[in-house]
Structure 1
Amino acid sequence: MKLRTVCVIALLFCALVISAFISIKKAVGPDTAVSFKIDTLVTNVIVPWQITFLPDGTMLFTERAGRVRIYRNNKLLPKPALTVNDITLDKKTGLLGMCLHPAFAQNKWIYIASNYTEDNHIRVRVARYEFRNDSLINPFTIIKSIPGNQNHTGCRLVFGPDKKLYITTGDADQPALAQDLKAYNGKILRVNDDGSIPADNPFTKNDTAHKEIWTYGHRNPQGLAFEPGTGVLFNSEHGPTGGDEINIIKPGQNYGWPVIHHQDTREGMISPLLEYTPSIGPSEAGFYNGNAFPELKGNLLVACLRGESILRIRLNNDKPVTQEVLLKKQYGRIRSLVVGPDGYLYISTSHYDPPEGKGEPPFDMILRLRPSNEKVKQQVQSIAINKKTTVKKQTPAFMFQQLCAACHGDHLQGTEKTKSLLGRNFAHGADKASIVKNITNGITEKGMPAWRGAISAADINKIADYVWVTSKRKK
């Protein structure tokens, strides 16, 4: 009798396991699979940072080198709509985000972010232009003098359903600025279409804060997307070494950088909805709301740079259900991703992107993704929703791995960004005191962040000890 009971229980357990497996397979099964036909529209351009469409179907895109280009009737027009003459080009800087005013059909306004130099420092500026006769004219400054840097300079532009302009800013390789409400860096800003301050911004009554701030504690947010129907705002942002994030953005909230990152938690700070280690380098994000790909309806799609793919996230009541990567390693680094008026997906590559991208011909491209009925083998990889990792002790080696290894390598062996430090091969001082100084103040012109105020002096000293001891090892 006992044996029969045990067998029945075992059978029931197996049935539950099998049914659970079937339900999981159904969520990611063939009915939600997507196949693409891919057309190459534009080649030999330099980092098409942002693609956008006019109401008549004309495509505009920014080239980081300082040009706004026009693609119409299957042709790239030779004359740019705009050439920004004071553009500052240094690794990740240049011409960045672009968006149309919600009433573009009436006022012809287009908003563009760019880097420029002011008092020998890189800055970020957002300006409004009028699009007339295929030219962008009459620039009007919305906001300027935001500190920029060759890394972590933002800058995505999106109008919300409230008709306010949302602007992302990076921490400019000075992580402490992300927590400073007197600084524009490491923030999402919200302004009226003329740059004035909306009365309902969360810090309008705070005398020690910039009134444009909507949220803070960001490292380098690259994507902003409002969910159709709900108006919920999502962002994508780069982490330090891994720790890339997808967040739900709520006004006035602190998203933690650099105090918390990866899956850290702290009272009063928001941990990410999704976190990615190793890094995927999330860039532009957007919800699919077209009709060409019904299987993608309502999915959040994210262009991935380091991941060289498109991240597809299915949500249920703003909670992630499943996620997968599409086109992995097929077209290299993907910078912009938008839905065209035809419901097709349009993506841009980011190959001319030192030091990660090598800029090999045909340099950068704009591609169109159309539905395919053919059983074309697509590079698709399902990935798990993040599981909470065990909190590790904040040892010097662990802090180095999370904050420094992306540039210096797991064992100080160097990366495409930096040379090896093994054998104490230092370029900026040859003793421990110099290491402490460099970690504290950064070498921002070389892309090394300044950690003063972001982590404690005691932790800086511990990391310096770790570097000093580990670097003694020969190559």
Structure 2
Amino acid sequence: MDKNSTIILAFVVVLAFASSFTAKNTTDEKSIFFKIDTLATNLTVPWQIIFLPDRSMLFTERPGYVRLYRNGKLNQRPILKVNDIKAETKTGVLGMAMHPLFNKNHFIYLAHNYGKDHRLWLRVVRYEFKKDSLINPSILIEQIPAARNHTGCRLTFGPDQKLYISTGDADQPVLAQDLKTYNGKILRINDDGTIPADNPFIKNDTARKEIWSYGHRNAQGLAFEREAKQLYATEHGPTGGDEINIIQKGANYGWPLIHHQETSAGMISPFLAYTPSIGPSEATFYHANAFPQLKNNLLVACLRGESLLRIEMDKGQVIKQEVLFKKQFGRIRSIVVGPDGYLYISTSNFDLPESKGERPYDMILRLRPSSTTQNHQVAQTLFSNNKTVETISGPAMMYKQLCASCHEDKLQGKETVYSLIGRKFKHGADKQSVINNISNGIIDKGMPAWNGAISKKDIEKLADYILKESIK
């Protein structure tokens, strides 16, 4: 596809959720027809898209760039290159947000990883946009722990004009429950980096005062619903159990003590959960007029699901869900509503280790409405897993939920993760070595540390299971 090409697609709305969350094969009379324009190609993981008041587009590329698209053309030279970037697998330049009063102050906010003291970190920096450049950087918050996996990080301004920041657990799950750390949190700060006086832990002497909510694994989408001014967050689960949460001030969302549809006193279970994984990334509520059928819908970009997820709600209750563009563009990272009311999405196909990283790399697409009635296809029905009954339990279930996303269901590994079959362990094949690896992780290789997140007894059972399965 070149810049001037369009693809015309239509999606017939499929009723996916009734009050009992059972799927029906009936269709709505309304159809949504799209024209898809290719705006930019040969990109490398464009992570965040925003629009300036003059309708120019800015977007980040994870290797370290902020790019400018204006008047139908992508500037070849980045407007910013982050020099101290630490781009390893999931890390690099990530979230970006524009100040609500941009016309007055010209502030742009950027999140990126960096290396210091042989560790990975995340910081949020405020820039001034001037003459198509980002200048006068001011670090608002830094030394947020990061890792090759689970580093976050989405930025968004709320209706209160505070900046909300999602962080990952940095492959140290137990720290998501620790209020003394930034791991696995949603943070809330003022636009100058100071801490709002009404933050929930402002009077807690041992807590990080920036924390708004905690117990998150790796939240990569933040979206405010306009009418209720309610914050929704998408979150990656362990081998399924992906979540959409309604974020409450000071609340604990359970990771790693509970996940999937588990419950526990004092912890909030997901508003919606998805097994198998859909890999939810950026989310946005649609409030524009170009697509009347999408009005007030929550739209979620899906990585592993390779699609857009459409969630229709009424007064906070899910009416139906459906999947759009399934496996048509690959992994989708960002979704935003442009000033024209059209949808803009970025792909994330050069995204190791989940993808093969093959050309033509990634692209940014624009979705416009079309009135055509030809070449339509039915949107794929999404079934809820809320009534799903797991048929396995014990160590096998622990392995499935905590390990299989990397090592696969039968320890066979994949192109970027070596197989454990035949006890081909690089860090010791005896039981104590396996226990040590599970407990402490191999964080520089992207393996989480589970000590404290699951009991020592369960770690031993998991080690026994891995050793047993590795010689079958």
After TM superposition, the score normalised by the length of structure 2 is: 0.93
1:64 paired to 2:51: no
Task: Measure, in 1, the Cα distance between the counterparts of 2:124 and 2:209.
Answer: 16
1:429 matched to which residue of 2? 428
Matches within 5 A, 1:252-331: 252-331=250-329
1:13 matched to which residue of 2? none
Q: Tell me, yes or no, if the aligned pair for 2:86 and 2:92 is still in contact at 8 Å.
A: yes
SS of residue in 1 equivalent to 2:32: coil
Q: Deviations over 1:52-83 (max 9, x none)?
A: 00011000000111110000000001221111
Task: Measure, in 1, the Cα distance between the counterparts of 2:136 and 2:302.
Answer: 34
How many residue pairs end up in the alignment?
Answer: 453
2:357 matched to which residue of 1? 359
Q: For structure 1, which segment, 353-362 or 97-106, has the greater mean C-alpha deviation from structure 2 after superposition?
A: 353-362
2:419 matched to which residue of 1? 420
Q: Tell which structure's C-alpha radius of gyration is larger.
A: 1
Q: What is the CA distance between 1:30 and its match in structure 2?
A: 2.6
SS of residue in 1 equivalent to 2:175: helix
1:343 paired to 2:330: no
CA 1:392–1:205 in 2, change beyond 3 Å: closer, same or farther?
Answer: farther
2:130 matched to which residue of 1? 132
Q: For structure 1, which segment, 256-265 or 385-394, has the greater mean C-alpha deviation from structure 2 after superposition?
A: 385-394
Q: What is the CA distance between 1:27 and its match in structure 2?
A: 8.8
Q: What is the CA distance between 1:107 and its match in structure 2?
A: 0.2
Paired residue for 1:108, among 106, 109, 113?
Answer: 106
Matches within 5 A, 1:1-400: 29-31=28-30, 33-375=31-373, 376-378=375-377, 380-390=379-389, 394-400=393-399
Q: Deviations over 1:12-44 (max 9, x none)?
A: xxxxxxx999xx97995132x312110000001
Task: Measure, in 1, the Cα distance between the counterparts of 2:119 and 2:354.
Answer: 24
Task: Measure, in 2, the Cα distance between the counterparts of 1:20 and 1:451.
Answer: 37
Q: What is the CA distance between 1:207 and its match in structure 2?
A: 1.0
Q: Tell me, yes or no, if the aligned pair for 1:328 and 1:379 is still in contact at 8 Å.
A: no
RCO higher in structure (CA 8 A, sep ≥6): 2
Q: Tell me, yes or no, if the aligned pair for 1:263 and 1:389 is still in contact at 8 Å.
A: no
Paired residue type of 2:356: K
Task: Measure, in 1, the Cα distance between the counterparts of 2:84 and 2:43.
Answer: 19
Q: What is the CA distance between 1:416 and its match in structure 2?
A: 3.7
Q: Percent identity?
A: 64
Task: Measure, in 1, the Cα distance between the counterparts of 2:408 and 2:296.
Answer: 38
Task: Measure, in 2, the Cα distance between the counterparts of 1:429 and 1:211.
Answer: 41
Q: What is the CA distance between 1:361 and its match in structure 2?
A: 1.9
Q: Deviations over 1:332-365 (max 9, x none)?
A: 0000000000000000000110011222222110
Q: Tell me, yes or no, if the aligned pair for 1:148 and 1:172 is still in contact at 8 Å.
A: yes
Unmatched 5+ stretches in structure 2:
1-17
Q: What is the CA distance between 1:425 and its match in structure 2?
A: 1.2
Task: Measure, in 1, the Cα distance between the counterparts of 2:248 and 2:400.
Answer: 30
Task: Measure, in 2, the Cα distance between the counterparts of 1:287 and 1:397.
Answer: 38
Q: What is the CA distance between 1:379 and its match in structure 2?
A: 5.7
Task: Measure, in 1, the Cα distance between the counterparts of 2:424 and 2:357.
Answer: 28
Q: What is the CA distance between 1:443 and its match in structure 2?
A: 0.4
1:468 paired to 2:448: no
Give 1 or 2: higher helix fraction.
Answer: 1
Q: Deviations over 1:122-174 (max 9, x none)?
A: 10000000000000000001100111011100000000000000000000011
Q: What is the CA distance between 1:385 and its match in structure 2?
A: 3.5
Unmatched 5+ stretches in structure 1:
1-18
Task: Measure, in 2, the Cα distance between the counterparts of 1:358 and 1:296.
Answer: 33
Q: Tell me, yes or no, if the aligned pair for 1:109 and 1:131 is still in contact at 8 Å.
A: yes
Q: What is the CA distance between 1:252 and its match in structure 2?
A: 0.6
2:451 matched to which residue of 1? 452
Paired residue type of 2:139: T
CA 1:290–1:461 in 2, change beyond 3 Å: closer, same or farther?
Answer: same
Q: What is the CA distance between 1:417 and its match in structure 2?
A: 3.8
Q: What is the CA distance between 1:412 and its match in structure 2?
A: 1.1
1:14 matched to which residue of 2? none
After TM superposition, the score normalised by the length of structure 1 is: 0.93
Q: For structure 1, which segment, 84-93 or 351-360, has the greater mean C-alpha deviation from structure 2 after superposition?
A: 351-360
Q: Tell me, yes or no, if the aligned pair for 2:124 and 2:141 is still in contact at 8 Å.
A: yes
Task: Measure, in 2, the Cα distance between the counterparts of 1:189 and 1:120.
Answer: 25
Q: Deviations over 1:174-216 (max 9, x none)?
A: 1011000001010000000011110111111111110000000
Paired residue type of 1:347: I
SS of residue in 2 equivalent to 1:387: coil
Task: State the 4+ residue runs in structure 1 displaced beyond 3 angstroms.
Answer: 24-28, 388-394
Q: Tell me, yes or no, if the aligned pair for 1:441 and 1:450 is still in contact at 8 Å.
A: yes
Question: What RMSD over aligned residues (CA atoms) do the two structures have, in Å?
Answer: 1.8
SS of residue in 2 equivalent to 1:312: strand
Task: Measure, in 2, the Cα distance between the counterparts of 1:355 and 1:383.
Answer: 26
SS of residue in 2 equivalent to 1:29: strand
Task: Measure, in 2, the Cα distance between the counterparts of 1:126 and 1:392.
Answer: 44
SS of residue in 1 equivalent to 2:471: coil
Q: Tell me, yes or no, if the aligned pair for 2:19 and 2:319 is still in contact at 8 Å.
A: no
Q: Deviations over 1:66-124 (max 9, x none)?
A: 11000000000122111100000100100000000010000000000000001111100
2:442 matched to which residue of 1? 443
Task: Measure, in 1, the Cα distance between the counterparts of 2:176 and 2:378.
Answer: 37
